[in-house]
Amino acid sequence: MAGSAPGAGRRGGWGAVSDDVTANPFYGEVPTGLGHEVAIGGALITMVEPHVGHERAYNRWYEDDHFYAGAMCMPWMMAGRRFVATRELQLLRYPEDSFIAQPVTAGCYIHLYWITVNHVADHEAWTRSTNVELTKLDRRYEGRTHIYTTFSDFTGVTYRDATGPRDIHSLDYPYVGMVLEVVDAGPGQSRQELHDWLHGTYLPDLQGAAHSPVAQSLTFTARHVPDGDEDDAPSEQAGSTIMSPQRGFAIPRANRRITVIHLLDEDPRLNWHRHFAGNGETVAARGLGRLELCAPFIPVLQGTDRYVDELR
């Protein structure tokens, strides 16, 4: 508004309209009792399918409102980035009978957010409360389906290069591609053994291959996992976590699952068959589990509708 003072119209803490740092002493007191490590503790990983005909509206709602109000504005979220799968990228996905996505092409957009170490639970508590309030304000877009959405604990990273961006930089460095791999340990198999093989052999081999585009690979395991085998737990999609204050969490097979985020310095389409198309066979041959989804993405151009017309 013309003539408005700087900050006018912004709400401070407790509903006050103020930029006075003394108005909310709570925010000045909390940091004195906390650690201030710069490290990833967990992630929010959310792959979403906008409903047909809602692609542009969903994209604008997410980037103009939800990316910030529903994520980046919250405490302890240290980085975030959106990626998109055009139809050409979707058609590279496998396996066709994926437990994660049916059809396997479902999930045009994926959003990755890193949460600060030792504060994942703090962030989740804030998120639950925030989403209740956003729902009351009619600021949630219902023309979408969550395909694979989970709060996860960070379990490690492997690098192709001895120097260069580290895991804390992974969503800020301008990587031009990302590949999501979801690997489930087989029935009766140890997820820890699968994790050790991934970090000790599979990921180093992938990154050490000639001309490998994979600069770093981060691994995660789902939080809020019930005891036992929850194959029949309800969900919108077989592999999804339902993140809703009313419905809580439902994570089929989560006690077996490892999510891998590969960051690439080239478009994944350029050498897909050389570096990724055979990964399912590689996992199967080891006998520890199954690659339930291998899916390539490229970054969105934030603030635009680029790629919206290439989703179908």
pLDDT tens digits in sequence order for the chain, 312 residues long: 344 333 334 444 445 555 665 667 788 888 888 888 999 999 999 999 999 999 999 999 999 999 999 999 999 999 999 999 999 999 999 999 999 999 999 999 999 999 999 999 999 999 999 999 999 999 999 999 999 999 999 999 999 999 999 999 999 999 999 999 999 999 999 999 999 999 999 999 999 999 999 999 999 999 977 655 544 433 444 444 434 333 344 567 889 999 999 999 999 999 999 999 999 999 999 999 999 999 999 999 999 999 999 999
pLDDT at 252: 72
- Beta-bridge partner residues of 220: 154, 259
pLDDT at 251: 61
- Quick one: tokens of 210? 């000639």
Q: Among all chains, which residue has been given the structure tokens 């460095």?
A: 173
- Beta-bridge partner residues of 43: 114, 152
pLDDT at 31: 87
Question: For the whole model, what pTM was predicted?
Answer: 0.88
pLDDT at 22: 64
- Dihedral angle sign, alpha carbons of residues 221, 226, 229, 234: negative
- Closest-CA residue to 119 (of 150, 148, 151): 151
14 by Cβ neighbours in 10 Å (0-12 / 13-18 / 19+) ranks as exposed
- Closest-CA residue to 101 (of 173, 181, 41, 26): 181
Neighbours of 92 (CB within 10 A): 19
CA distance 267 to 211: 13
CA distance 239 to 231: 9
CA distance 101 to 262: 19
SS3 252: coil
pLDDT at 225: 72
CATH of 38-310, one of 3.40.190.10, 3.30.70.100, 3.40.50.2020, 3.90.1170.50: 3.30.70.100
- Quick one: tokens of 248? 């809580």
